[in-house]
Amino acid sequence: MRVSKVYTTDVVVAAAGRGKRVGAAQNKLLLNLNQNSDRDEKAGEDKLFGKNVTTLLEYGLKTFQEHPGIRNIFLVVSKEDFQILQPWAEKEGLILVEGGERRQDSVHKALEHIHQHDELPDMVLIHDGARIFCTRDLIDRILDVCRENGSAIPVIPIHDTVRRIRTKQEPSRNWIEKLENSLEKDDLNCELLDRNELFAVQTPQGFRFEDLWEASLKSREENWDVTDDASMLEKMGKSVHPVPGEMGNLKITTAEDLEYARHQFQSSKL
């Protein structure tokens, strides 16, 4: 009788961000989804997980906590949030990790914790904590493709017209300033791209643990600067396998996103 292999999976949730773009005085993931007011005041430890409080973090983790195929969840948070979250994390069975300077540094710290485990997982999922509407169906798709191919990233089609804007000046993260300066200097190249070939990438992204661990070590050794974890695998010459993502799996980034999240949460309780 043939016995199917049981695959183990750990999850790394990156939750070390701040709340500047949503207009909050703290980590946006610690904001209350039950809050109806547009004013979000900084909450102390006693208010974070009290009565009538459901933080974005709690809500987003629930799907992973209830998934039978997930062994451990490593929650990466900032130094400022570590002490506040530690009692709650222990109660929830989460493994808290202090984050690094960049997102990829934070993920590497979590991978180091996993690597210290006596039994390494077969697979690891890397997830942005700000994507609080990830579903079990999406997790299942990621795990299925990752088991078969060694990696899986969720993608969704881009419906807007997309243009690549290139300038002669040095690359800048401030795209508005870059655009304005280019218009003044008349060194702008505005190129229409075929949106049928373009997709937005989401999380969770799934990988064979050993592959991602090797890529993360290489990234630190050569000081790569990457925007997501799949990019590290590609730099190692490995293929990345896309799977259908979900339109509802948006990343809570702006005040408008937060308002939408609260509306969805309130609607789900009706």
Q: Are 161 and 134 in contact (CB under 8 A)?
A: no
Averaged pLDDT for residues 92-108: 95
pLDDT at residue 27 tops 60: yes
- Tell me whether the omega of the peptide bond preceding residue 204 falls within 30 degrees of 0, making it cis: yes
Residue 235 and residue 251 share a domain:
yes
Tens digits of residue pLDDT in 109-167: 999 999 999 899 999 999 999 999 999 999 999 999 999 999 999 999 999 999 887 77
**pTM of the complete model:** 0.88
Q: How confident is the model at residue 92 (pLDDT cuts 50, 70, 90)?
A: very high
Within a domain: 4 = no
Residue 96 and residue 35 share a domain:
yes
pLDDT at residue 182 tops 90: no
Q: How confident is the model at residue 37 (pLDDT cuts 50, 70, 90)?
A: very low
In which domain, by residue range, is 193 found? 159-197
Question: From residue 23, how far is each of 20, 132, 250, 260 by CA, in Å?
Answer: 5, 18, 18, 15
The pLDDT of residue 79: 93
The CA dihedral of 212, 213, 217, 218, to the nearest 10 degrees, is -40
pLDDT at residue 59 tops 60: yes
Q: Domain containing 53 — which CATH number?
A: 3.90.550.10
Within a domain: 252 = yes
Residue 232 and residue 98 share a domain:
yes
Residue 184 and residue 116 share a domain:
no
Question: Across the chain, which distance is largest between two alpha carbons, in Å?
Answer: 73
The residue among 98, 87, 89, 71 whose CA lies nearest residue 7 is 71
N-terminal to C-terminal alpha carbon distance within the chain: 49
**Phi, psi for residue 167 in degrees, rounded to 5:** -130, 165
Residue 180 and residue 233 share a domain:
no
